[in-house]
Structure 1
Amino acid sequence: MVIDIPANFIEQVKNIDWSGVREAVKDYGPALTVLRDTWDRETLAQIAEGHLFVRDSVLNEAIAKNIGTEGTVRSIVFRSRANGRLDLTCTTSKKYKKIELSGTIEEFVHAGDKSYAVYRVREKNIPDHGFVSWVFSRVSLSLVERMMGRFDVSDTVLVEIHGNKVYVDFHEVLAASKLGQTTFQGHKLMDMIEIEGASVQEGGIMFDTKLNVPDDVKEALWALVRERGTAATEDGTGEGGEH
């Protein structure tokens, strides 16, 4: 069920003291810890508003961490352009040869039991499929991490290449993550967010998001927010603590 976002939702989210909530309601400790560690206030506020912008610099930093120091790939750099193109440049240790691709994001979806991305190469044919599969498994997971939190990079991410389209299915990896394994009021945390699409803009990618929270979870979460707001008012702290 898609909830109606209250007019003052963003301000309330920004003022949540996640650590205080976790201590106040110990029965919800595991779920709240994952929520706090996955989404800071700014990210959760953007997701609730329906649009989360991921800058190239953030994505490239995450990709660099996921590459590691072993293997032939030295760097993978994305550049988002105003014309909707997403350019990819890979530098390998084989005489530091560069492989360049330019394409578009055709689909980026996370809803229910579907979590996948589709990238269409618009310029240059796809080189060695094994290499491209490895690259896009890292790239896609790095994108998802911005919204779903950190999880181990896995070689089992399903990547299929048909013609000049690259299909990446990251559902199983996401389901095995902390977000996928943690429940709140009997509902999986990973199911509380949907990604409906992505558009490439100058300097980054804009994701269309939706916050899906069942009524019982919504009521429990708002009760926690109200409780922390009351406590903050009574002790004079007002603004929530650091996250």
Structure 2
Amino acid sequence: MVIEIPAQVIEQVQNIDWGSVREAVKDYQPALTVLRDTWDRETLAQIAEGHLFVRDSVLNEAIAKNIGTDGTIRKIVLRSHGNGRLDLTCTTSKKYKTIELSGTIEEFVHVGDKSYAVYRVREKNIPNHGLVSWIFSRISLSMVERMMGHLDVSDRLPVDIRGNKVYVDFHEVLAASKLGQTQFRGHKLMDMIEIEGAEVREGGIQFDMNLNVPDDVKETLREVLREHRPSAAEESSEEGEKT
């Protein structure tokens, strides 16, 4: 059976500047790649809903990758409780053996040019502030990585200890990340995700999130993603990797 295509439709298709479409996709490809590498569909769906729950097992795995093998700390394991307490057990070299910390997350924020976390240590066995600074810097980075993608942990983050409160500033390291260095239509990708707080729950931590995507970016993303939709083979490969 021969299907006749209306002349008006043929004319509209012929008038599309496909070269411009390809150039637009090419121009936005770096941003699209970073977006796809940073957030899978499930994570982005949760963020869009305003909350992202991260289980202890996921955070402990990320922390283990960020510790390295050259320092005094050999292992850090966190455990979240329904009463809001966050317990940390740190295995170190023979000098200190085990450090146990228990406390709460007072603030966890990434909004505009402010990106920081505040922990209150309520029960402690602290040999020195240097180790505590290192421990909380790695914990903070591991939490941020779950939402913002890979970060460079080669340098120590600014950490300030005042009494039993630990202040961690991760803005500079976030700004130096792929998310911080990549723009989409003049907007930094890192500014499109906001973290407004964190609540320790049984088995994990729930982060209060907000998608701060400008209207012009929303519309452009819809158009570009429509033209850059993955092929059936890519979709099948992606699903296979996740199963």
Is this a same-fold pair by TM over 0.5? yes
Inter-CA distance 177–228: structure 2 relative to 1 (3 Å threshold): closer
Query: SS at the partner of 1:64?
Result: helix
Structure scoring higher RCO (CA < 8 A, sep ≥ 6) equals 1
Answering whether residue 190 of structure 2 is matched by residue 190 of structure 1, we say yes
Q: Where does 1:102-113 land on structure 2 (aligned, <5 Å)?
A: 102-113=102-113
Contact 2:25 2:228 in 1 (8 A): no
Query: SS at the partner of 1:90?
Result: strand
Equivalent residue, structure 1, for 2:69: 69
Equivalent residue, structure 2, for 1:138: 138
Following superposition, the deviation at residue 151 of structure 1 comes to 1.6
The one-letter amino acid of 1:109's match is V
Equivalent residue, structure 2, for 1:151: 151
Q: Deviations over 1:170-214 (max 9, x none)?
A: 000000011000000110000000000000001100000000011
Equivalent residue, structure 2, for 1:170: 170
Query: SS at the partner of 1:44?
Result: helix
Contact 2:39 2:147 in 1 (8 A): yes
Q: Which moved more, 1:196-205 or 1:69-78?
A: 69-78
> 1 CA distance for matches of 2:57 and 2:147?
15
Query: SS at the partner of 2:105?
Result: strand
> 2 CA distance for matches of 1:78 and 1:147?
18
TM-score by length of 2: 0.83
Following superposition, the deviation at residue 87 of structure 1 comes to 0.4
Q: Where does 1:1-243 land on structure 2 (aligned, <5 Å)?
A: 25-94=25-94, 97-124=97-124, 126-227=126-227, 237=232, 240=235, 242=238
Contact 1:137 1:155 in 2 (8 A): no
> 2 CA distance for matches of 1:26 and 1:228?
10
Contact 2:118 2:166 in 1 (8 A): yes
Percent identity between the aligned chains?
A: 81
Provide structure 1 residue ranges, at least 5 long, that are not aligned to the other structure: 1-20
> 2 CA distance for matches of 1:22 and 1:166?
49
> 2 CA distance for matches of 1:32 and 1:157?
29
Inter-CA distance 74–226: structure 2 relative to 1 (3 Å threshold): same
Provide structure 2 residue ranges, at least 5 long, that are not aligned to the other structure: 1-20
The one-letter amino acid of 1:144's match is V
Please tell me the root mean square deviation across aligned C-alpha atoms, in Å.
2.3
Query: SS at the partner of 1:222?
Result: helix
